[in-house]
Amino acid sequence: MTNAALLLLADSRFPTGAHAHSNGVEAAHARGDLLSLADLSDFIDGRLATVGTTEAAFAAAACMPGAVWVDLDRELAARTPSPRLRAVSRTLGRQLLRAAERAWPSLPARELRSLHREGPMQSVALGATAAAAGLTPADAALCSLHHLVGAVTTSAVRLLGLDPFDVQAIAANRTPVLERLAAEAVARALGPADALPANNSLLADILAEHHATWEVRLFAS
């Protein structure tokens, strides 16, 4: 347990390139599904219940001693139907490794890069990084959920001009939920890789494919 390392890895200033991604906010906003603070609150709950629980479980599993990363990587890719989102996840996984191997040199970055020619899925890279940083699977899951909420809230503030204090209040309100989901993710992560959660949102996957074809967009996904 090292709280300082967890804070470092959870900090949006840790340079992984994630700032260029809205986690579906831009596409949902353009469709008219995300226009207000109330919509944002619902959107966060939707993301947490779907891709949030899935990715948190994979991050926790990848952080466990003896984790078989190649299996986890394949299983998570299979749970990500959108080719665009798989590519985004591998890009962010690759970029996380760059920062993480410098910060925590014990990280087996070469092995993780070899999982796939485009790099490991982001949650697998995150779990492995958390382990190298001396963190627990629960920390890895919490970090995954925190990054999700952070990406959604930050991009919503930028795209919608929402009151940043209200937005952070929503995020603060969800912290007990994040703690609970992280604990559940760890429990699920103890099982075999093919039995890990497969919650996702088909609409978000479809919108991500559309978003990638827009001529003008602020975020990469």
Partner 1 sequence: MWAFGVPGTRPLRIGIGGPVGSGKTALVAALCRLLATEFSTVVVTNDIFTTEDAEALRRMAVLPDDRIVPVETGACPHTAIRDDISANLDAVEQLEALHAPVDLTIIESGGDNLTAIFSRALVDKQIFVIDVAGGDKVPRKGGPGVTTADLLVINKTDLASLVRADLGVMDRDAKARRGELPICFTSLVEPAGAVEVAAWVRAQIARWRADGR
Interface map 94-113 toward partner 1 (x if CB under 8 A): xx--xx--------------
**Residue closer to partner 1 (CB basis): 68 or 159:** 159
Minimum CB separation from partner 1 for residue 177, in Å?
26
87 counts as binding partner 1 under rule CB under 8 A: no
165 counts as binding partner 1 under rule CB under 8 A: no
Name the one range near partner 1 by CB under 8 A: 19-27, 32-40, 166-174, 177-185: 19-27
> Measured between alpha carbons, how far is residue 123 from residues 22, 55, 66, 80, 190 in Å?
16, 6, 16, 12, 16
**Residue closer to partner 1 (CB basis): 19 or 74:** 19
Minimum CB separation from partner 1 for residue 207, in Å?
17
Name the one range near partner 1 by CB under 8 A: 52-60, 73-81, 180-188, 210-218: 210-218
In angstroms, the CA 12 to CA 117 distance is 26
Query: 188 CB contacts (<8 Å, ≥6 apart)?
Result: 57, 60, 195, 196, 197
Minimum CB separation from partner 1 for residue 36, in Å?
20
**Residue closer to partner 1 (CB basis): 184 or 217:** 217
In angstroms, the CA 88 to CA 27 distance is 15
220 counts as binding partner 1 under rule CB under 8 A: yes
13 counts as binding partner 1 under rule CB under 8 A: yes
37 counts as binding partner 1 under rule CB under 8 A: no
Query: 135 CB contacts (<8 Å, ≥6 apart)?
Result: 1, 2, 5, 6, 9, 63, 143
Residue 157 neighbours by CB distance under 10 Å: 17
CA atoms 118, 122, 124, 127: torsion sign: positive
215 counts as binding partner 1 under rule CB under 8 A: yes
Minimum CB separation from partner 1 for residue 102, in Å?
10
In angstroms, the CA 65 to CA 84 distance is 31
The site for partner 1 (CB under 8 A) is made up of 13, 15-17, 19-22, 91, 94-95, 98-99, 155, 158, 215-220
